């Protein structure tokens, strides 16, 4: 087996989260910095955070609201057919 092919293992590597929580574990890096941990992640805390960069969340919400309004304004085939039948019956009874 060749020597020096594996990285050095640090049994007491320190991991630091952006929220301030730190813990010790084994790793090939001596120090690791992370953005989210189980202490601050929305899945574990139940609190939802929006990290809005360049209004992306707001733009998405506006776009989805427009789609809902547009789909409600559109009439389906059955509604159009019922309107034609109703119009036809009112013009036929008016002509009689």
> Binding residue per annotation — 37?
yes
Supply the CATH classification number for the domain 1-49. Answer: 4.10.80.400
What φ, ψ does residue 20 adopt, rounded to 5°?
110, -10
**Chain centroid offset of residue 10 CA:** 36
> Binding residue per annotation — 17?
yes
pLDDT band at 38 (very low <50, low <70, confident <90, very high): confident
> Binding residue per annotation — 10?
no
Question: Is residue 53 a contact partner of residue 36, using CB atoms and an 8 Å limit?
Answer: no
> Mind listing the pLDDT tens digit for each residue in 15-25?
999 889 999 99
Question: Is residue 9 a contact partner of residue 16, using CB atoms and an 8 Å limit?
Answer: no
**Residue-level pLDDT at 28:** 94
- CA gap 41, 47 in Å, rounded: 8
> Binding residue per annotation — 3?
no
List, in order, residues 6 or more apart from 44 with CB less than 8 Å away. Answer: 38
pTM reported for the whole predicted model: 0.43
Domains of the chain by residue range = 1-49, 51-96
């Amino acid at each position: 087996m060749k020597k020096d092919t594996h990285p050095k293992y640090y049994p007491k590597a320190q991991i630091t989260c952006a929220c301030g929580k730190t813990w010790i574990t084994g790793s090939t890096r001596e120090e690791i910095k992370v953005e989210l941990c189980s202490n601050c992640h929305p899945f574990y805390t139940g609190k939802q955070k929006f990290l809005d960069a360049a209004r992306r969340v707001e733009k998405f919400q506006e776009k989805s609201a427009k789609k809902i309004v547009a789909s409600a304004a559109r009439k389906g085939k059955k509604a159009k057919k019922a309107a034609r039948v109703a119009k036809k019956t009112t013009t036929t009874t008016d002509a009689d």
